[in-house]
C-alpha cells in the first residue's frame, strides 16, 4: 500500500521519532485531503484528481499524494492561495510543537485539513481549532475531515485575530508565513505556551511568558509557506527585497545569508548585512531569535539585548 511505503520513507528519514505522531501519520490518509492538486509543467499546471476516468492518471494522482513534496491545491487569478505542505516538514513542526495530552491547539491556516486531522488524532477533536480566512478553503476542509472521521472546530475567519472564543491555547501553530507575530496570538495563549510559525523563510518557536511577551529562537529548518492573509496593519511599510547587485554574488548562494537578508529586510543595508554575516562566521538560523514585547517586536542574533537587532513590522 502506497501509504505504508510513504510512512516507512518518513521513518527512515528520521522525520517521525515520536510514536504518537508516527501513529497519526499512519492512520490519517493524506489522499482524502487532496482529491485534486496541481503539478507545474513547463507551460502551465497539470491537474491530478481522484475522479479522473483514466486509471493511469488516477495512479499518478495517488502516487503524487504520497510523495514527500508540497502540493498546490488552490489557485486564484494565477496566484497560489493554499497548499498541502511537505509531509516531512509538517512532521518536524508537529514534533517541535511539543504537545501533551489535554493541551488545546490553535492552527492558523487550515489548508486541506490534513494537519488539523493529525492534531485531532493526537489530541482529540475538542482540543483542536483551525482557522482560515477563505470559506472556499474551510468548507472543503470540513468535508475532508468528516470523510476521514475527524471533527475539530473549523472557523472561517481572520487568522491574524486568532480565535478568542476558543482561547486560551496551550499551543499555536501557523501553516502560513508571517512578517511579524500577531499580538492576538500571544494574548490568547496561557503562560508557558508555544507559538510556532514560519517567518523570513525560517520557523520561529516562541515561548509565551504572559499575554504580551514571548521570545524564542528559529529552528534550523528552512520553510517556505503561502503568506497569511488577514487584517492589514496601518503601521507596516512594505518590505523591499535586497538588491542582489549590492553584495558579492557568492554570498547569495548561501541559504544562511539569504535568510539574514529576509529577516533584516528594510532595516539592514545589504552590504552591512554581508559584513555582519562574514564577521559572525556565517551564522546558522538557530543563532537568530525573535522577541515580542509590549513596546514592539524585534529579531536578533545570539542575544535579545545584544547589538545585532532589527525591528519587525508592527503587529496586528
Q: Where in the sequence numbering do the catalytic residues fall?
A: 82
C-alpha distance from residue 6 to each of 3, 22, 217 (Å): 5, 11, 31
Q: What 3-state DSSP class applies to 179? A: coil
- 30 within 8 A of 86, measured Cβ to Cβ: no
- String of DSSP letters for 68-103: SS-EEEEEETTEEEEEEPPHHHHHHHHHHH---TT-
Cell numbers describing residue 187: 494574548
Q: What 3-state DSSP class applies to 245? A: helix
Dist. CA 183–CA 216, nearest whole Å: 15
Task: Return the closest-CA partner of residue 186 out of 204, 201, 206, 157.
Answer: 206
- 164 within 8 A of 184, measured Cβ to Cβ: yes
Going by the DSSP 8-state scheme, the letter that residue 314 receives in this structure is: P
**What's the gap between Cα 170 and its chain centre?**
17
Dist. CA 203–CA 95, nearest whole Å: 13
Would you state the torsion angle of the CA atoms of residues 77, 176, 223, 170, taken in this order, to the nearest 10 degrees? -170
Dist. CA 197–CA 96, nearest whole Å: 11
Length of the chain: 316
Amino acid at each position: 500500500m502506497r501509504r505504508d511505503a510513504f510512512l516507512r520513507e518518513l521513518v527512515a528519514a528520521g522525520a517521525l521519532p515520536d510514536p504518537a505522531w508516527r501513529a497519526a501519520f499512519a492512520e490519517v490518509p493524506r489522499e482524502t485531503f487532496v482529491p485534486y492538486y496541481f503539478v507545474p509543467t513547463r507551460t502551465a499546471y497539470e491537474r491530478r484528481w481522484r475522479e479522473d476516468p483514466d486509471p493511469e492518471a488516477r495512479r499518478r494522482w495517488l502516487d503524487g499524494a504520497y510523495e514527500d513534496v508540497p502540493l498546490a491545491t488552490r489557485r486564484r487569478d494565477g496566484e497560489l492561495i493554499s497548499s498541502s505542505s511537505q509531509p516531512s516538514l509538517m512532521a518536524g513542526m508537529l514534533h517541535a510543537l511539543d504537545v501533551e495530552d489535554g493541551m488545546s491547539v490553535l492552527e492558523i491556516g487550515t489548508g486541506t485539513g490534513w494537519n488539523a486531522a493529525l492534531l485531532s488524532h493526537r489530541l482529540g477533536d475538542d482540543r483542536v481549532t483551525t482557522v482560515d480566512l477563505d470559506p472556499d478553503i474551510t468548507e472543503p476542509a470540513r468535508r475532508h475531515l468528516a470523510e476521514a472521521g475527524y471533527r475539530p472546530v473549523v472557523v472561517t475567519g481572520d487568522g491574524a485575530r486568532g480565535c478568542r472564543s476558543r482561547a486560551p491555547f496551550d499551543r499555536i501553530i501557523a501553516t502560513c508565513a508571517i512578517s511579524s507575530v500577531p499580538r492576538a496570538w500571544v494574548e490568547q495563549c496561557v503562560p508557558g505556551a508555544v507559538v510556532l510559525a514560519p517567518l523570513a523563510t525560517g520557523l520561529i518557536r516562541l515561548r509565551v511568558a504572559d499575554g504580551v511577551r514571548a521570545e524564542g529562537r528559529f529552528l534550523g529548518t528552512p520553510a517556505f509557506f503561502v503568506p497569511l492573509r488577514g487584517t492589514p496593519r496601518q503601521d507596516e511599510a512594505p518590505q523591499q527585497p535586497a538588491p542582489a547587485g549590492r553584495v558579492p554574488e557568492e554570498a547569495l548562494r548561501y541559504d544562511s545569508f539569504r535568510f539574514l537578508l529576509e529577516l533584516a529586510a528594510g532595516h539592514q543595508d545589504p552590504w552591512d548585512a554581508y559584513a555582519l554575516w562574514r564577521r559572525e562566521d556565517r551564522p546558522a538560523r538557530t543563532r537568530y531569535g525573535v522577541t515580542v514585547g509590549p513596546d514592539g517586536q524585534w529579531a536578533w542574533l545570539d542575544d535579545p539585548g545584544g547589538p545585532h537587532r532589527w525591528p519587525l513590522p508592527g503587529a496586528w
